């Protein structure tokens, strides 16, 4: 009933009377009043006026299962949603759900992560109300060697979604960091489980600094948030819904070819490193060159001093700009 009353309040053009809510739901005024109080306790600003009814007065950034479901436009991705106020890591949550038979497309979202992680085991700070920390489950039938490219699909979905919502000229730092003005706003971690040489599940975790108001001192030159870049707060539910919708479309293209051939131009247009000098941090053989784009397998193509083109695999090395993070 709570979800329905919230939906009616959002759809109402002005006030909606308690009597109308009672009639539409077939419940008592007392039941409606209790739900209104519950919504207010969750942070919704609801104005109650005698002889007029109730009105939702503030579109607060409230993250919960009902709001996430309402923002979904995808067909299957994100249609099974679990929301947690706090958890260790949404990747871990989805992994546990996958072990219990959760369907493909299952999504877990947390308000707070206590043990969020990134590539190479790096920690990822996720304070309450500041960002989007979510992971989703895929059960692909293609060979394991294609799975690493899914990270690039996720990066494309985030880039497009953030740009649609904010208008910011965000880019992808190969392979999967989303950057604005040379600073990171998003990290993506893809993990795969195998069984008898086949993919059992792929879990993609995405963390985005959305409404974060302050960056810790040691990261100020490398990280930022949508709020710090624009001075505006954003509806995180909407961003999640857009990411699910855009990833779903990318994924359905990908499974046709099991490579990035159908999205190559789109990705390269988003690539912050493109035509930029880069340093390849290979432990055995570091080198420098000019990044010219990616190939259909998602490898970064780097032109070195002698004119040769080298391919860089994301699982093997890190890439940095010669003069900055990007």
In whole angstroms, give the CA distance from residue 42 to residue 90. 22
Do the beta carbons of residue 214 and residue 199 sit within 8 Å? no
In words, the CATH class of domain 65-269 is alpha beta
For 71-96, the pLDDT digits (tens) are 999 999 999 999 999 999 999 999 99
Domain residue ranges of the chain, discontinuous segments joined by +: 2-58, 65-269, 273-321
Question: How many residues appear in the chain?
Answer: 326
Predicted local confidence at residue 11, as pLDDT = 86
**Displacement of CA 283 from its chain's centroid (Å):** 31
- For residue 80 the two structure tokens come to 């099974």
For 145-176, the pLDDT digits (tens) are 999 999 999 999 999 999 999 999 999 999 99
For 245-264, the pLDDT digits (tens) are 999 999 999 999 999 999 99
Predicted local confidence at residue 121, as pLDDT = 52
Do the beta carbons of residue 287 and residue 306 sit within 8 Å? no
CB under 8 Å to 209, separation ≥6 — which residues?
A: 130, 131, 185, 186, 215, 223, 224, 225, 226
Predicted local confidence at residue 122, as pLDDT = 55
Q: 3 falls in which pLDDT band (50, 70, 90)?
A: confident
Predicted local confidence at residue 281, as pLDDT = 87
Per-residue pLDDT, averaged over 202-230, amounts to 94
Note the CATH number of domain 2-58: 1.10.10.10
Predicted local confidence at residue 83, as pLDDT = 97
DSSP for 218-242?
GGTTTB--HHHHHS----HHHHHHH
- For residue 254 the two structure tokens come to 């990908």
In whole angstroms, give the CA distance from residue 326 to residue 179. 8
In whole angstroms, give the CA distance from residue 245 to residue 229. 25
For 268-304, the pLDDT digits (tens) are 999 999 999 999 988 888 999 999 999 999 999 999 9
Whether the link from the prior residue into 58 is cis, omega within 30° of 0, is no
Fold of 273-321: SH3 type barrels. (2.30.30)
Predicted local confidence at residue 321, as pLDDT = 72
pLDDT at 322 over 90: no
Predicted local confidence at residue 250, as pLDDT = 97
- Torsion, Cα 65 70 74 80, to 10 degrees, reads 30
Per-residue pLDDT, averaged over 16-39, amounts to 94
């Amino acid at each position: 009933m709570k979800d329905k009353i919230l939906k009616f309040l959002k759809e109402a053009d002005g006030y909606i009377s308690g009597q109308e809510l009672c009639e539409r739901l077939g419940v008592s005024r007392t039941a409606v009043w209790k739900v209104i109080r519950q919504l207010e306790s969750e942070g919704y600003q609801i104005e109650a006026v005698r002889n007029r009814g109730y009105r939702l007065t503030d579109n607060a950034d409230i993250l919960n299962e009902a709001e996430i479901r309402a923002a979904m436009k995808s067909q299957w991705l994100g249609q099974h949603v679990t929301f947690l106020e706090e958890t260790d890591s949404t990747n871990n949550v989805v992994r546990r759900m996958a072990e219990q038979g959760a369907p493909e497309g299952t999504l877990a979202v947390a308000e707070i992560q206590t043990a969020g992680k990134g590539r190479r085991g790096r920690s990822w700070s996720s304070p309450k109300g500041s960002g989007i920390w979510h992971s989703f489950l895929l059960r692909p039938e293609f060979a394991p060697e294609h799975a690493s490219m899914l990270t690039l699909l996720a990066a494309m979905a985030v880039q497009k979604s953030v740009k649609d919502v904010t208008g910011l000229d965000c880019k992808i730092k190969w392979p999967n960091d989303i950057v604005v003005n040379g600073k990171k706003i998003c990290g993506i971690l893809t993990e795969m489980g195998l069984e008898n040489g086949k993919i059992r599940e792929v879990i993609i975790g995405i963390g985005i600094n959305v409404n974060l108001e302050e960056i810790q001192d040691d990261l100020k030159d490398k990280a930022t948030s949508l709020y710090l870049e624009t001075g505006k707060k954003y509806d995180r539910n909407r961003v999640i819904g857009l990411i699910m919708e855009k990833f779903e479309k990318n994924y359905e293209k990908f499974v046709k070819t099991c490579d990035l051939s159908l999205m190559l131009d789109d990705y390269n247009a988003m690539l912050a490193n493109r035509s930029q000098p880069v340093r390849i941090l290979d432990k055995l053989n570091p080198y420098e060159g000019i990044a010219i784009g990616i190939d259909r397998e998602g490898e970064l193509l780097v032109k070195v001093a002698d004119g040769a083109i080298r391919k860089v695999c994301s699982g093997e090395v890190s890439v940095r700009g010669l003069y900055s993070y990007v």
